[in-house]
């Protein structure tokens, strides 16, 4: 499997002391760009990746949205983006960055905001605190169940200890521990549900290439702590715009029961469950996810 050639334009914005690198896809479809006689440009879909991700992970979904301009940043401290200064690398800090980025790239209309996994918590906070900037909300594998409670508490505790150890070791040793090839592969395989060997190899290769592109063990530990301390449900009562939840049927990180409860709690939410997939909807089933998003955005 090969990532589509989308030819994005790379740009940099200075936000919260960080050089935030972001990529725009189909920039000619910018909302309001060259609009005449009252015509309205296409939606801008701004996507927020998950923990230890980069913009690359969401490109397959972007490829499935040919009628929309897409903007995907690397969150500060990950990928090509530098760390923030004077701001914590947590949900509030990242939400501030995404809010300011929307203000810079959104054009004349509110954006469609999409978040995957940890990015779903960030996106939900932005939608709740700056609703004037967001027209519709899409949450892929949204975190609706606390990581440190329920059936995953043991695994979450072990993972937390792993990140804490990485932070406490000398910088080089800590980075080596958190970037260990076999640990990354084990995590990749644990999240992958497909039986397609080629697709499994594609996912493994992407995790090995991008999963360890973080600024420092201390930064990724801080972000991991934020990912386990918060959920989308904290903002559910404050989000009153149309919201699409895309869940994996066998997602163990964001269990389906929590997704159903979240959808029922929100004032205007639709839940789409994709069968045979877990927490890697953006890699394993980007086509069905993009189709659901296209349909969602096509409704009045």
CATH class given for the domain over 9-146+230-298: alpha beta
Cβ–Cβ contacts within 10 Å for residue 198, how many? 9
- Cβ atoms of residues 65 and 290 within 8 Å: yes
Q: What is the pLDDT along the chain (300 residues), one digit of tens a residue?
A: 545 667 889 999 999 999 999 999 988 876 544 444 334 457 899 999 999 999 999 999 999 999 999 999 999 999 999 999 988 999 999 999 999 999 999 777 899 999 999 999 999 999 999 999 999 999 999 999 886 555 566 666 778 888 888 888 899 998 999 999 998 998 888 889 999 999 999 999 999 999 999 999 999 999 999 999 999 999 999 999 999 999 999 998 899 999 999 999 999 999 999 999 999 999 999 999 999 999 999 854
Domain boundaries, the chain: 9-146+230-298
Spell out the alpha helix ranges (H) of 139-242: 153-168, 171-178, 181-191, 197-210, 217-229
Residue 153: CB atoms within 10 Å? 12
Widest Cα–Cα separation across the chain: 61
- Contact present, 221 and 229 (Cβ < 8 Å): no
Task: Specify the residue for token string 């839940």.
Answer: 271
Distances (CA, A) of 170 to 92, 113, 165, 179, 215: 28, 38, 10, 14, 14
């Amino acid at each position: 499997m090969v990532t589509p050639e989308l030819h994005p334009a790379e740009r940099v914005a200075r936000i919260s002391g960080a050089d935030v690198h972001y990529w725009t896809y189909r920039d000619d479809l910018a909302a309001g760009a060259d609009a005449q006689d009252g015509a309205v440009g296409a939606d801008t879909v701004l996507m927020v990746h998950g923990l230890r991700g980069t913009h690359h992970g969401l490109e397959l979904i972007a490829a499935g949205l040919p009628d929309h301009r897409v903007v995907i940043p690397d969150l500060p401290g990950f990928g090509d983006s530098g760390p923030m200064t004077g701001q914590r690398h947590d949900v509030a800090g990242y939400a501030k960055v995404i809010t300011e980025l929307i203000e810079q790239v959104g054009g004349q209309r509110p954006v469609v905001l999409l978040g995957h996994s940890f990015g779903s918590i960030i996106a939900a906070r932005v939608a709740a605190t700056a609703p004037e900037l967001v027209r519709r909300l899409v949450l892929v594998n949204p975190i609706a169940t606390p990581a440190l409670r329920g059936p995953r508490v043991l695994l979450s505790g072990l993972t937390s200890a792993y990140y804490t150890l990485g932070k406490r070791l000398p910088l080089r040793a800590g980075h080596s521990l958190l970037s260990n090839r076999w640990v990354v592969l084990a995590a990749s395989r644990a999240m992958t549900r497909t039986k397609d060997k080629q697709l499994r190899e594609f996912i493994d290769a992407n995790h090995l290439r991008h999963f360890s592109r973080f600024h420092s063990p201390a930064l990724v530990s801080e972000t991991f702590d934020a990912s386990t301390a918060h959920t989308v449900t904290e903002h559910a009562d404050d989000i009153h715009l149309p919201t699409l939840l895309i869940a994996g049927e066998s997602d163990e990180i964001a269990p389906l029961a929590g997704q159903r409860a979240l959808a029922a709690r929100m004032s205007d939410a639709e839940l789409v469950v994709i069968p045979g997939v877990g927490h890697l909807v953006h890699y394993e089933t980007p086509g069905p996810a993009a189709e659901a998003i296209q349909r969602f955005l096509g409704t009045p």
